[in-house]
Amino acid sequence: MIKKTLKINGVERILILDKDETLAQVLRNHLLLTGCKIGCGEGHCGACNVIMNGKVTRSCIYKMSRVPDNAEITTIEGVGTISDMHPIQVAWMAYGCAQCGFCSPGFIISAKVLLDNNPSPTRKEVRDWFNKQRNLCRCTGYKPLIDATMAAAAVMRGEMTKEDLV
């Protein structure tokens, strides 16, 4: 067993864990943060993405023994709330980015890290970023996801409001 102190969605958590558990198992099974999904479980699809210390992280393959103490982790639950959704979440709805919705949390996490670091990406940069992150969607195709990310970026830059999206 190992002890980890983590800041998850802004809340400090002190956890006693099996070191072989993955971050996704801990988030989903112990903390009931089920927004990160287990798709492939092998690090290929990005459904399990969370942000750890500012980086997109595949939680399904990230063993707790490797998670740095005092790591700051953001799951999809920490990106926005039902009453105050993040612009990316609003754009995801407005552009019809979800059919089954299974990939949405992972894509939104990837999009957030991109826009936090590059507030004015080109469409090519958004497409290249999702390709680099290897997020997979098997329902919608990728164009709505790029459209939504571009629109969310405009909201985050203050050029339009979330209400303009819907």
Of positions 2, 38, 85, 160, contacts ligand FES by CB under 6 A: 38
| Distance in angstroms (rounded) separating the CA atoms of residues 131 and 163 | 29
Judged by CB under 6 A, which stretch of 7-15, 26-34, 39-47, 76-84 contacts ligand FES? 39-47
| 33 binds ligand FES, rule: CB under 6 A | no
| Distance in angstroms (rounded) separating the CA atoms of residues 89 and 67 | 27
| Distance in angstroms (rounded) separating the CA atoms of residues 50 and 24 | 9
Our CB check for ligand FES shows the closer of 134 and 143 to be 134
| Distance in angstroms (rounded) separating the CA atoms of residues 154 and 119 | 8
The CA-CA-CA angle for residues 93, 24, 125, to 5°, reads: 50
Least distance CB 40 / ligand FES (angstroms) = 4
Record the tokens describing residue 81, joined without a space. Answer: 């709330």
Judged by CB under 6 A, which stretch of 27-35, 42-50, 116-124, 153-161 contacts ligand FES? 42-50
| 51 binds ligand FES, rule: CB under 6 A | no
**Site residues (CB under 6 A) for ligand FES?**
38-41, 43-48, 58, 60
